[in-house]
Amino acid sequence: MERTLPRSDSSLAEIPDEPRRPPIGRAELYAELWTSLAALMRSYTALHGLSLNRTAVVEHTERRIRVRHGEKLLLLARRNETVSWVRENGDSGNLELTAGGSLRGPSGEQAMDLAAEYWARELMQ
């Protein structure tokens, strides 16, 4: 005895496959993550300044982020995945922006949003 599958209900429309996008390149990925870091710095400096009615200036280009609040300053520069940072007191360092959205340095890896929150808190005190 031959078994047949039931016919599909013609009222159910088939869901078309979504068009496949080409994979994003590493340069584009780091550019997107860099823009996200600038946005996080804007958000966290605003958040930390709310209760004290303080604001910071955040300037962003494709290679630099500059955050200033009064005499406090943070300069970030990016070349591909390498991020260099300098503070107003001369402290500086280098970090690696990972494809997963973290910043990796000599003391380990930290989520980008946590790093941005730390810098914002330091700047807004």
Q: Where are the domains of the chain?
A: 42-124
What pTM was estimated for this model as a whole?
Answer: 0.80
Read off φ and ψ for residue 81, nearest 5 degrees: -95, -5
Contact 38, 115 (CB under 8 A): no
What pLDDT does residue 55 have? 94
Tens digits of per-residue pLDDT, 53-111? 999 999 999 999 999 999 999 999 999 999 999 999 999 999 999 999 999 999 999 99
The DSSP call for residue 56 is: -
The DSSP call for residue 55 is: -
Residue 29 has which token pair?
């990925």
Q: Buried b / exposed e across 74-107, counting CB within 10 Å, b at 16+?
A: bbbebeebebebeeeeeeeeebebeeeebbbeee
Supply the mean pLDDT for the chain: 89
Helix (H) or strand (E) holding 47: helix 26-49
